Amino acid sequence: MDGNTSAVSMNRSRQLGYGTADLGIAAVESIVQLYLLKFYSEVVGLSAAWVGIALAVAMIWDAISDPLMGGISDRTVHRQGRRRPYFVPGSILLALTFFLLFNPPAAGQSVATFLYLLFSFLLLNTSMTLVAVPHAALAGELSSDRHERSALFGYKRLFATLGALLGLVLPALVLAYWGEPNDPATMARARSAASGLLAPAIIGTAWLSYRLTRGLDRSARERTRWRLDLLAHLVLEQREALKNPLFRLLVIAFIIAAVGRTLNASIALYYYEYFLQLGEQDAVVWVLLPFFLSFIASVPMWIFLGKRWGKKRAALLGVLSLGVTTAVVYPLMPAGQIVFPLAYSLAGGVMAGAIVLMDALVADSIDYDRIRVRRAREGLYFGVWKMSTKVARALGLLLAGVLLDLIGFAEGGGAVSAEVSFRLAFLFGPAVGVLFVTAGVILWFLPLDNALHDRIQRIAQRRWER
């Protein structure tokens, strides 16, 4: 099969090496999702609604650039392959723009602040696309064996979770080192320092992935003539990808779940501070950190359950259980106590670990495309998948900013009423839980089980061997 490199030795060190790039990418995403909205609304002084609008507009462009980058990498002819050449330069640009994002030149409620946030976030997401889309597309080409793919995506998700953990803990540790967590000037210095400390990890992990996947990336077979209407051409190809019924259902379920996850992450620190009366350091150390550790520990279990039950059934169990418990538990949490949010963070991390199977299901659904088209289009599919991620995040961030304003939060922070606090808990719990449950219901109708995937692979193999 064109672009399939499963004949190359895929030992554990190569699988681990491939996954490392996700650490830097996920660390940036984690900080953006958890801290950016609160930083610009409470420290910089821009209203939450305007922050949400800026982030959503930038991510809509980013959603458009993802499939474009996927198509570009599909067509790339380079001695190092068609995916890997983008890893290092993209990571350098990502580190630079990430530092700029948390170092605005001025504070306050102004058009200049809004535009700075908009354009710096635009550049950050564009540079992330240069790394993330080719990196994700390469995974779909490394193996055609579904169990090996599960392991590969498990390592990828493992490093993504470690990166998310780094992004979660680093800003809190730096703030604790500076002291005076309620002082906006101290908060600004701490966020600036954290963004600078993370830069080497962003570049280093991308370089490591580039280095350890040498020989696993193949260039396009022949140079494709670049078209002036490349974007329009790729839009047509995206429509073709979405005609794949297996991929289409996965995309719909994933977008809905990702909107819920982004909304949940964006307002998490608000919820823990204003509803549970926990400081940032307590929330990070006793709630969010155990969640991520539990998530990491659960990945092998979900890979095992995916083999035993099938990926769809196992993923469905995780998504539905997470949705139902999120809707019920969060509004009932007692304020000022650690034990209850700690217990649920451990259980929630296990349930959320099922998301690793969603990534592997995407690679399996792409095999259906091989029945219809005699050329590798993993870059296109993973470009659309990443685009779906960005669209979902744009919607989640926009909802977070607008809804925070609607329920009564004002820029600059400060005390909130009991009524506003309860609205926040409802937003953080039932509103997010309904989105997870809806995604699970859609996933229920996905017909991709082990038997169907085996049949698809047999048909595709016969057709490609003719």
Q: SS3 string of 250-264? A: HHHHHHHHHHHHHHH
DSSP secondary structure of 126-171: HHHHHHHHHHHHHHHHH---HHHHHHHHHHHHHHHHHHHHHHHHHH
Residue 74's pLDDT band, with cuts at 50, 70 and 90, is confident
Quote the pLDDT of residue 9: 46
**Per-residue CA distances from 133 to 68, 303, 402 (Å):** 10, 23, 29
Average pLDDT over residues 241-263: 87
Residue 201 reports pLDDT greater than 90: yes
Which range is most confident: 239-243, 302-306, 340-344, 351-355?
A: 340-344
Among 205-219, 304-318, 324-338, the range scoring the smallest mean pLDDT is: 205-219
Report the C-alpha dihedral over residues 172, 175, 180, 183, rounded to 10 degrees: -90
Residue 416 reports pLDDT greater than 70: yes
Average pLDDT over residues 195-214: 91
Quote the pLDDT of residue 272: 93
User: DSSP assignment, residue 330?
Assistant: G
CA 213/CA 211 separation, integer angstroms? 6
Which range is most confident: 179-188, 189-198, 446-455?
A: 189-198
Average pLDDT, the chain: 83
Nearest to 155 by CA among 293, 7, 16: 16
Nearest to 274 by CA among 38, 89, 48: 38
Average pLDDT over residues 180-199: 86
Q: How far is CA 204 from the centre of its chain?
A: 20
Quote the pLDDT of residue 464: 55
More confident residue, 35 or 382: 35
Quote the pLDDT of residue 435: 95
Phi then psi for 38, rounded to 5 degrees?
Answer: -70, -35
Asked if 323 contacts 434 with a C-beta cutoff of 8 angstroms, the reply is yes
Which range is most confident: 95-104, 293-302, 370-379, 439-448?
A: 95-104
CA 378/CA 1 separation, integer angstroms? 12
Quote the pLDDT of residue 143: 67
Among 96-110, 214-228, 414-428, the range scoring the smallest mean pLDDT is: 214-228
The total of other beta-carbon atoms located within 10 Å of residue 57's CB is 15
Residue written as token pair 């599919």: 381
The H-or-E segment that residue 212 falls in is helix 184-212
Quote the pLDDT of residue 3: 40
Asked if 265 contacts 33 with a C-beta cutoff of 8 angstroms, the reply is yes
Residue 1's pLDDT band, with cuts at 50, 70 and 90, is very low
More confident residue, 358 or 159: 159
Predicted structure pTM score: 0.78
DSSP secondary structure of 1-64: -TT--TTS---HHHHHHHHTHHHHHHHHHHHIIIIIHHIIIIII---HHHHHHHHHHHHHHHHH
Average pLDDT over residues 136-152: 71
Domains of the chain: 14-218+234-465 (1.20.1250.20)
Percent of the chain with pLDDT over 90: 36
pLDDT tens per residue across span 116-138 = 999 999 999 899 989 988 888 88
DSSP secondary structure of 299-320: HHHHHHHHHHH-HHHHHHHHHH
Quote the pLDDT of residue 123: 94
Phi then psi for 76, rounded to 5 degrees?
Answer: -75, 130
Quote the pLDDT of residue 5: 40
Average pLDDT over residues 241-265: 88
322: which 2 tokens?
């997470």
With 0-12 / 13-18 / 19 or more C-beta atoms within 10 angstroms meaning exposed / middle / buried, residue 179 is exposed
Residue 65 reports pLDDT greater than 60: yes
Q: How far is CA 432 from the centre of its chain?
A: 17
Gap between the terminal Cα atoms of the chain: 11
CA 133/CA 337 separation, integer angstroms? 42
375: which 2 tokens?
């050329």
Q: How far is CA 127 from the centre of its chain?
A: 15
**Per-residue CA distances from 200 to 88, 92, 174, 203, 400 (Å):** 12, 9, 16, 5, 30
More confident residue, 300 or 142: 300
Quote the pLDDT of residue 237: 64
Across 325-337, b (16+ Cβ under 10 Å) vs e yields bbbebbbebeeee
Q: For 277, left (φ over 0), alpha (ψ -120 to 50), or beta?
A: left
Residue 157 reports pLDDT greater than 50: yes
Nearest to 212 by CA among 93, 84, 24, 27: 84
Residue 390's pLDDT band, with cuts at 50, 70 and 90, is confident
